[in-house]
């Protein structure tokens, strides 16, 4: 049987593999604290769940329009207006089964052999995977610890060539929690005026999970770029709805029909009841979103100060999302060795920085979407693990 070669170039998301291994170890009776997978540990707020149930009871059992139900697209346009600072067109909104689908559509729309796509490194592994899948050349934008893992406009602009078709941006970022300063977004918007052939995929899935003085700035706020910006967001992280598989995107006018056609060719439309739940999420009370954000903030402070107390580890303060990305290079372990050692011997699931790109060597991603108590226990386990002499273990490490 011969399949296409591009399939062999697809990468994966290690977080799912670590989750499976952590669950298997827990099923064998091992005590396991999961700081691996990136999803809120809270349930979906009850009024959203009720709206989904009501939609089923009310008979929303059939197909919906491929681009999403009109009232949901209107609610998304209204939601994005505060980010854009101007009225937006609901007909440019596409409701998709999860934020990842926007990524797939955007990268496959621009990637092909000979094209270059700029993406942050380290970053969500699916960007690089999809760029490789299309045959385009992945051009890494190296994120630096000393910049708090935010990027400077100049760093991106200097990577643009005649072949650049797409730039992928993510702020607040996975896996680093880095947030890009609004003035850099402004500089980038100005610089992009010189490169009219380049589109930008703005992955803003963590835009409402921000801490301290950090502010979210979006390229969507620049009308002159409007025909080149693809905005990715959704319900998964903000409303603790990862399992509902629901996301939204805002597209250049010239791409809406093509992307809707991709939807028709792949999944027809998004689950109807989930769309009604998503509508309740956007139009209903937002207090649960704030409550979750505050809980994440408390845990963020606990994990960062706890990590910085451990010998060999240092951690910059993440400005958004729910990930800490400590530097572990002084421990003497590679990222993968420490991931394996912590998982198999210390009972802590965390992800090697290299799962997010080669530039993640020397770092570990810890998701703090877990209780304060578990975070404290995990920190203790990490500290004890590192305190043991390596030679005394039968470690794979
Ligand atoms: C940066 C980033 N973008 C997109 C997604 C995908 O979100 P969804 O679960 O809605 O597909 C994730 C999920 O972890 C993410 O971290």
Strands (E), 10-82: 33-34
| Ligand 1 center–CA 111 separation, angstroms | 20
Q: How many other β-carbons are positioned within 10 Å of the β-carbon of residue 357?
A: 22
Backbone angles phi, psi at 178, to 5 degrees: -65, 145
What digits encode the pLDDT tens for the residues 335-355? 999 999 999 999 999 999 999
Ligand 1 neighbours, Cβ below 6 Å, are 38, 98-100, 124, 170, 174, 203, 205, 234, 236, 242, 247
Distance CA 194, CA 189 (A): 10
Residue 373 confidence (pLDDT) above 60? yes
- Cβ contact 270:95 at 8 Å: yes
Q: With a threshold of 0.85, does the pTM exceed it?
A: yes
- Cβ contact 362:353 at 8 Å: yes
Q: Please provide the average confidence, as pLDDT, over all residues in the chain.
A: 96
User: Measured from the CA of 101, which atom of ligand 1 is nearest?
Assistant: 11
Q: What is the pLDDT of residue 19?
A: 87
What 3-state class would DSSP assign to 115? coil
Across residues 191-199, what is the average pLDDT? 97
Ligand 1: residue of 94, 97, 124 to mutate (most ligand atoms within 8 A of CB) is 124
Q: What is the pLDDT of residue 393?
A: 60
Q: What is the pLDDT of residue 192?
A: 98
Residue 388 confidence (pLDDT) above 90? no
Ligand 1: residue of 100, 207, 247 to mutate (most ligand atoms within 8 A of CB) is 100
Distance CA 177, CA 62 (A): 39
User: Measured from the CA of 103, which atom of ligand 1 is nearest?
Assistant: 4
Strands (E), 247-358: 247-250, 323-324, 348-349, 351-352
Ligand 1: residue of 38, 233, 237 to mutate (most ligand atoms within 8 A of CB) is 237
Domains present along the chain, CATH in parentheses = 5-43+287-386 (3.90.1150.10), 47-283 (3.40.640.10)
| Ligand 1 center–CA 332 separation, angstroms | 31
- Which own/partner pairs from 142-148 qualify as long-range (CB within 8 Å, at least 24 positions apart)? 142/359, 143/173, 143/176, 143/178, 143/359, 145/316, 145/327, 145/363, 147/178, 148/178, 148/179, 148/316, 148/317, 148/319
User: Measured from the CA of 247, which atom of ligand 1 is nearest?
Assistant: 10
| Ligand 1 center–CA 280 separation, angstroms | 21
User: Measured from the CA of 100, which atom of ligand 1 is nearest?
Assistant: 11
| Ligand 1 center–CA 391 separation, angstroms | 39
User: Measured from the CA of 234, which atom of ligand 1 is nearest?
Assistant: 10
What digits encode the pLDDT tens for the residues 87-116? 999 999 999 999 999 999 999 999 999 999
CA of residue 281 relative to chain centroid, distance: 20
Q: What is the pLDDT of residue 392?
A: 59
What digits encode the pLDDT tens for the residues 43-88? 999 999 999 999 999 999 999 999 999 999 999 999 999 999 999 9
Q: What is the pLDDT of residue 396?
A: 46
| Ligand 1 center–CA 13 separation, angstroms | 11
Distance CA 285, CA 194 (A): 42
Residue 397 confidence (pLDDT) above 70? no
Percentage of the chain exceeding pLDDT 90: 94
| Ligand 1 center–CA 210 separation, angstroms | 16
Residue 119 confidence (pLDDT) above 50? yes
| Residue ID of nearest Cα to ligand 1 atom 16 | 174
**Residue 317: DSSP 8-state:** P
| Ligand 1 center–CA 322 separation, angstroms | 12
| Ligand 1 center–CA 203 separation, angstroms | 8
């Amino acid at each position: 049987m011969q399949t296409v070669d591009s399939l062999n170039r697809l990468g994966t998301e290690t977080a799912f593999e670590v989750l499976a291994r952590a669950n298997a170890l827990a099923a064998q009776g091992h005590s396991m604290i999961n700081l691996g997978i990136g999803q809120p540990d809270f349930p979906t707020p009850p009024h959203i769940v009720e709206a989904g149930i009501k939609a089923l009871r009310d008979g929303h059992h059939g197909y919906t329009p491929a681009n999403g139900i009109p009232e949901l697209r209107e609610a998304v346009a209204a939601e994005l207006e505060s980010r854009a600072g101007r009225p937006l067109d609901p007909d440019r909104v596409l409701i998709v089964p999860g934020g990842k689908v926007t990524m797939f559509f955007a990268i496959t729309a621009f990637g092909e052999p000979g094209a270059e796509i700029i993406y942050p490194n380290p970053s969500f592994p699916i960007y690089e995977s999809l760029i490789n899948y299309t045959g385009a050349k992945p051009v890494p934008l190296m994120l630096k610890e000393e910049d708090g893992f935010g990027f400077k406009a100049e760093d991106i602009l200097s990577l643009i060539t005649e072949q650049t078709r797409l730039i992928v941006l993510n702020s607040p970022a996975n896996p680093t929690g880095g947030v890009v300063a609004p003035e850099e977004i402004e500089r980038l918007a100005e610089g992009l005026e010189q490169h009219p052939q380049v589109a930008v995929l703005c992955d803003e899935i963590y835009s409402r999970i921000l801490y301290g003085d950090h502010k979210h700035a979006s390229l969507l706020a620049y009308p002159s770029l409007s025909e080149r910006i693809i905005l990715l967001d959704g319900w998964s992280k903000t409303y603790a709805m990862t399992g509902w598989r629901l996301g939204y995107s805002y597209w250049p006018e010239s791409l809406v029909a093509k992307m809707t056609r991709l939807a028709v060719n792949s999944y027809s439309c998004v689950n109807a009841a989930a769309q009604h739940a998503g509508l309740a999420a956007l139009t209903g009370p937002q207090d649960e979103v704030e409550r979750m954000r505050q809980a994440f903030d408390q845990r963020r402070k606990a994990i960062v100060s706890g990590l910085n107390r451990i010998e060999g580890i240092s951690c910059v303060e993440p400005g958004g999302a729910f990930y800490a990305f400590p530097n572990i290079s002084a421990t003497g372990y590679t990222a993968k060795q420490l991931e394996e050692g912590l998982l198999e011997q210390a009972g802590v699931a965390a992800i090697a920085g290299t799962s997010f790109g080669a530039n993640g060597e020397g770092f570990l991603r810890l998701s703090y979407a877990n209780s304060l108590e578990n975070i404290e226990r995990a920190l203790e386990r990490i500290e004890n693990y590192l305190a043991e002499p390596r030679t005394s273990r039968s470690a794979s490490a």
